[in-house]
Amino acid sequence: MVKKKIAKVLAFRYKLLAAILILLAGGLVLLPKYQKHEGIKPEELLSNVISPERYITTDQVAHKLINRDPSFILIDVRDEKSYANYSLPNAINIPLKKLLEEDSRSYLNQNQFDVILFSNDHFYADQAWILCNRLGFKNIRVLKGGINNWFKTIINPLKPSENMPAEAFDLYTTRKAASMYFGVVYPEQANVAGSETKIEAPKRVITVQKKKKKPAEGGC
Amino acid sequence: MGPLIPNGVIPIEWDSIIAILIGIVFGFVLEASGFSSSRKLAGVFYGYDFAVLKVFFTAAVVSLIGLYYMDYLGYLDITQLYVHPLYLWGAIIGGIIMGAGFVAGGFCPGTSLCAVAIGKIDAFVYVGGIMVGVFIFSELFPILEPIYDGYFYGNITLQDSLGINPYWAVFIFSIIAIVAFVISDIVRKKQKKIFY
Amino acid sequence: MKNDKKQKNRHVYWNPYFGGFIFGILILFTFYLTGRGLGASGAMKSSVVSIVETVAPTHAQNNAYYSKFIEKDKSPLDTWLVFEALGVLIGGFISGGLSGRIGWRIQHSPKITSKRRLAFALGGGVLFGLGAQIARGCTSGAALSGMAVLSTGGFITMLAIFGSAYAFAYFFRKNWI
């Protein structure tokens, strides 16, 4: 008698468990489907966009270049033609269209270097930046103002007028020195420097290690 | 987001420690479910004890449902998990040989290790047998290589090979499991009880 | 009957559904941590490789199968699965110890002798070792962990193992019933 009762209780328990199991499995089928985001969350992306950290000024880049800072790579996102025409020293050309190809990814998706994107202004570089950020790539920044600004500030800095504060003059001197580093000849010293002004920034070979991603391997 | 070690959330140095901890739970569960007894294991083939089938299917269903829920909630990326590759004839021929070995020896590798842990001498012999088997395989490898490496279809899932929505596959699999449990209980009632 | 039950107390195991549930959670957790499933035969393969490597290093280097698992400056035993197998031994020992199942014995049907049981255990082991290498995994590595991610290979291996075991069961019935 008792045994039968126990059997009944047990049977009920198993039926309950089976029902829960079916409910859970059915829940998977019925759950609303959604498109999976590849990469970071939208909120995170938004906060990255707002952050001023994403821009780097031309002065900072010039400083890094002159000091031969090894920790960054410059990436030119314009097309090949403009790249062949003129680009920043040691820049790598990855046109916006090819940004998501496998070869480009090894440059963009790595933890070894900081990546600085630039184009003629910062419009295209911004697009590239958003794409990269969306995919969760780290340490990517945009050159503020792009190559146009580079010319305006570094290559051909505006001489401050007499009534400007002292900092402007300081800035001008550093920029002038930088521009001389990048090969601009100023009239007042052209006769001094002579032919030596055409010093090219030394070419740097950039090797990018593939980001270590250990694939899960076999069980047995 | 998981899996934690391949994504570098937990440093790789912890891998071995985690392996031992997982192994301890694995061994404990196997032993406590009675998988250290070869007669209990073999019961599933003669209808007097269906513990193997119940544990096996429950584990598969629970982990399947759990994995897909974790994937859905974003804790785990199911595409990053290791999917056992399909070498069609290797799987079939190997499976047939393993099945014969299973019913002859009464253990599979994991359960034999458990039985070794509690001092079953037949399990020691069985583990020795497995090593001999591996040795024979390696020596015959040039002959067996076409089966071992051939008929490769990639690391595919049912989703790829049947074109079925994985959620439906999980659901159908759960139903099959429950039906199997019910049938196994019916069969067991008809069988003569065996004490072991 | 009641007395008999008390004597057999050490054969009282977990409810299979409970065991299966814990087992499933463990597989889930393993996948969450390491991205791959459990395994067992891999540890035995590693031990065979390391034995052969110590006994006959040149032979191991020349054999196409062993050489896959031999790396310089790293013992073939230094793999995830070997550590996991060590854990299995510890875990099994703890569980067996808690319920008093530890002891040297040969378990077999009363109808057969111990010798016969050992002979069949050896034969079964050889077959299983051979099959596990051909199919790249055993019941835990290929079938169970494969099924947990809906791997086609895992399902086929599982069907093949259980299908053939049922097919051969008739020939070995004397050993078990």
Residue C155 distance to chain B (closest CA, Å) = 9
Express as a percent the part of chain B with pLDDT over 90: 21
For C112-133, how does the pLDDT look when each residue is reduced to its tens digit (9 = 90+)?
888 888 999 999 999 999 998 8
Of C34, C140, C142, the CB nearest to A216: C34
Query: In the prediction, which pLDDT does B96 show?
Result: 92
pTM, two decimal places: 0.73
Nearest chain C alpha carbon to B21: C87
**Which of B170, B188, B189 best probes binding to A when mutated, by most A CB atoms within 10 angstroms?**
B170
Q: Is the pLDDT of residue C134 over 80?
A: yes
Q: Is the pLDDT of residue C25 over 90?
A: yes
For A47-101, how does the pLDDT look when each residue is reduced to its tens digit (9 = 90+)?
777 777 778 888 888 888 888 777 788 888 888 888 888 777 778 888 877 777 7
How many other C-beta atoms are found inside a 10 Å radius of the C-beta of residue B149?
Answer: 10
Contact criterion met (CB < 8 Å) for B94 and C135: yes
User: Residue B28 — pLDDT band, cuts 50, 70, 90?
Assistant: very high
Query: In the prediction, which pLDDT does A187 show?
Result: 65
Using an 8 Å CB-CB cutoff, list chain B residues near A218: 82, 84
Using an 8 Å CB-CB cutoff, list chain A residues near B82: 215-219
What average pLDDT score do residues C87-113 get?
A: 87
Residue A57 distance to chain C (closest CA, Å) = 42
User: Residue C164 — pLDDT band, cuts 50, 70, 90?
Assistant: very high
Contact criterion met (CB < 8 Å) for B178 and A18: yes
Q: Is the pLDDT of residue A198 over 60?
A: no
Q: Which of A217, B6, B25, B23 lies closest to C83, judged by CA?
A: B23
d(CA C38, CA B110): 9
Choice between B17 and A103, residue whose per-residue pLDDT is larger: B17
Q: Is the pLDDT of residue A199 over 70?
A: no
Mean confidence (pLDDT) of chain A: 74
Number of inter-chain CB pairs under 8 A, A vs B: 53
Contact criterion met (CB < 8 Å) for C175 and B106: yes
Of B26, B97, B128, the CB nearest to C91: B26
ipTM of this complex prediction, to 2 decimal places: 0.90
- Backbone dihedral angles phi then psi of residue A171, each to the nearest 5 degrees: -60, -45
Contact call for residues C141 and C79 (beta carbons, < 8 A): no
Nearest chain A alpha carbon to C30: A219
Choice between C26 and B108, residue whose per-residue pLDDT is larger: C26
Contact criterion met (CB < 8 Å) for B95 and C141: no
Q: Is the pLDDT of residue C63 over 70?
A: yes
For A159-197, how does the pLDDT look when each residue is reduced to its tens digit (9 = 90+)?
777 777 777 778 888 887 877 777 776 666 655 444 444
Of C96, C121, C150, the CB nearest to B158: C150
Q: Is the pLDDT of residue B168 over 80?
A: yes
Spatial neighbors of C35 by CB under 8 A, at least 6 apart, are A216, B2, B3, B5, B6, B80, B81, B82
What average pLDDT score do residues C145-166 get?
A: 89
Contact call for residues B170 and B78 (beta carbons, < 8 A): no
SS3 state of residue C54: helix
Contact call for residues C46 and C54 (beta carbons, < 8 A): no
Contact criterion met (CB < 8 Å) for A216 and C138: no
Residues paired with A74 in a beta bridge: A116
d(CA B128, CA B116): 11
Of A24, A213, A218, the CB nearest to B82: A218
**Which of B88, B138, B145 best probes binding to C when mutated, by most C CB atoms within 10 angstroms?**
B138
Residue A26 distance to chain C (closest CA, Å) = 17
Is A217 an interface residue toward C (CB < 8 Å)? yes
C-alpha distances out from residue B47 to A206, B30, B44, B124, B187, Å: 67, 20, 5, 26, 6
Query: In the prediction, which pLDDT does A194 show?
Result: 43
Q: Identify the chains in contact with C, defined as 3+ C-beta pairs within 8 A.
A: A, B
Using an 8 Å CB-CB cutoff, list chain C residues near A217: 36
Contact criterion met (CB < 8 Å) for C124 and B24: no
Of C14, C130, C152, the CB nearest to B161: C152
Q: Is the pLDDT of residue B31 over 70?
A: yes
Q: How many residues does chain C have?
A: 177
Q: Is the pLDDT of residue C5 over 50?
A: no
Nearest chain B alpha carbon to A32: B72
Residues paired with B157 in a beta bridge: C151
What average pLDDT score do residues B51-58 get?
A: 89
